[in-house]
Amino acid sequence: MEKILLLGFSDQASLKLLPEGATVAASLAASLECSWEVALVGKGVQEAANALGSCGAAKFYGVEGDEFAFARYSSDLPAAEALLKASQSTLILVPGSSRANRVLSALAMRLGGRADTHVTRVAVEEGKVLANRWFYRQRMEACFSRSQRPWVISLEPGNVEPQSFNAATVSVEMVSVALPDDAKRTKVLGLKYPAGTAQTIRPDAQLLFVAGAGWTKKQPDGELHVPEAEKTILDFLEKTQSSLGSTKSLVDQTGGGDAVLSFMTHLNQIGQTGSTPRHAKGLATCCHGEEPHVVGWRFITERRAVNIDANCGWARGKTDVLYVADAFAVMKKVNELLSE
Ligand SMILES: Cc1cc2nc3c(=O)[nH]c(=O)nc-3n(C[C@H](O)[C@H](O)[C@H](O)COP(=O)(O)OP(=O)(O)OC[C@H]3O[C@@H](n4cnc5c(N)ncnc54)[C@H](O)[C@@H]3O)c2cc1C
């Protein structure tokens, strides 16, 4: 008989993923007709548990304290281990924040189990638990099962619509974990991001805005308009809080001595050799829509593109709507409308 544990951390980024994790845990427990529990590590564990109050979990556990407030391998790992031992669950579902993903394989190793990260679906078929994940830069999807327990499964965020749970006061069984001094040597003093990217890459945004190399090319008047391109793009991002993506051609220009957009880095690149984000909508501008770029749009549900060329790659069935227009003019007008 399986028993499910939803394991979460109480930093802001991890907390946001808890409702989605609880939705998956509740649904899996219903399919397996087994009970499920919640375990939380960090500071403010009671409040985090209360927020999930009505989710249907049979029991809540916590490791609480200042020493567990921030992501640190040497404290997160013993805390998670203690919680798993207290719960004795066989299937451990963990919302896949960077904090969680850092400790999961070691956690499974310590308990003689197995870990899988970036799992996009967990389901039950003929009584067997099956997990899905993508391999080889999102080109192949595997559906697999494991016999080892505990099976630690990190859930890739954004795959399940989270239920909204009513808050209720729950009783949390606190588990105490004594950390040796050498587990406390690392202190998190703050976060620093590479210049530019912190403000432009927003995984939670509704819209992915992609800028292609066309923004830095000569325009119909024979001139470059790079400062205008920068202003238009940043204005749109600020107004909409969209996430900024790029093509490879545009980010590679940084090293080629060509005109560049100062806020663009390789971290913005979408595509075969870039990232594959999961925004609900995407808008490509001044981007040709070549296959190595468009494969990065695999999980973008609704796609639109603005290109001056009616024969660009997007026109070949790769977008829902193609506006054949000058992106400088279109985005300027969009920004005006947004200002109103
Ligand atoms: C092995 C390999 C891996 C690759 N991996 C990636 C990857 O991960 N990501 C990626 O992006 N690419 C990747 N590429 C490169 C990819 O094939 C394309 O070369 C690249 O995506 C083209 O970028 P672009 O569309 O910005 O530039 P261009 O091809 O130069 O297109 C610019 C577009 O802007 C349009 N334009 C110009 N002015 C305007 C205007 N005023 N209004 C509207 N439109 C305008 C033009 O009509 C043109 O279509 C890879 C290539 C290879 C070989």
Whole-number Å distance, alpha carbon 313 to ligand 1 midpoint, is: 9
Degrees, nearest 5: CA angle 292-301-284: 50
CA distances for 40 relative to 62, 87, 252, angstroms: 5, 12, 42
Looking at CATH, the fold of the domain delimited by 197-339 is given as: Rossmann fold (3.40.50)
Predicted local distance difference test score (pLDDT) of residue 188? 86
Among candidate residues 144, 153, 11, 16, the one with its CA nearest the CA of residue 91: 153
Position of tokens 């640190």? 72
Degrees, nearest 5: CA angle 160-137-157: 20
Predicted local distance difference test score (pLDDT) of residue 194? 67
User: Which residue's CA lies nearest to atom 37 of ligand 1?
Assistant: 214
Residues with CB under 6 A from ligand 1: 212-214, 217, 219, 247-250, 269-274, 286-288, 290, 292-293, 296, 306-309, 312, 326-328
Query: Per-residue pLDDT tens for 280-331?
Result: 999 999 999 999 999 999 999 999 999 999 999 999 999 999 999 999 999 9
Q: Helix 73-87 vs helix 98-110: angle between axes, to the nearest 10 degrees? A: 60
Predicted local distance difference test score (pLDDT) of residue 133? 95
Predicted local distance difference test score (pLDDT) of residue 195? 64
Whole-number Å distance, alpha carbon 233 to ligand 1 midpoint, is: 17
What is the pTM assigned to this prediction? 0.80
Distance separating alpha carbons of residues 318 and 340, to the nearest angstrom: 32
One pLDDT digit (tens) per residue for the chain, 340 residues? 999 999 999 999 899 999 999 999 999 999 999 999 999 999 999 999 999 999 999 999 999 999 999 999 999 999 999 999 999 999 999 999 999 999 999 999 999 999 999 999 999 999 999 999 998 777 789 999 999 999 999 999 988 999 999 999 999 999 999 999 999 999 988 877 766 666 799 988 999 999 999 999 999 999 999 999 999 999 999 999 999 999 999 999 866 667 788 889 899 999 999 999 989 999 999 999 999 999 999 999 999 999 999 999 999 999 999 999 999 999 999 999 999 9
For ligand 1, mutation pick of 208, 221, 307, 332 (most atoms within 8 Å of CB): 307
- Which atom of ligand 1 is nearest to 212's Cα? 26
Whole-number Å distance, alpha carbon 288 to ligand 1 midpoint, is: 5
Looking at CATH, the fold of the domain delimited by 4-183 is given as: Rossmann fold (3.40.50)
Q: Where in the chain is the domain with CATH 3.40.50.1220?
A: 197-339
User: Which residue's CA lies nearest to atom 7 of ligand 1?
Assistant: 271
Degrees, nearest 5: CA angle 34-142-23: 35
Predicted local distance difference test score (pLDDT) of residue 106? 98
- Which atom of ligand 1 is nearest to 273's Cα? 8
Peptide bond into 162 cis (omega under 30): no
Whole-number Å distance, alpha carbon 246 to ligand 1 midpoint, is: 9
Q: Where in the chain is the domain with CATH 3.40.50.620?
A: 4-183
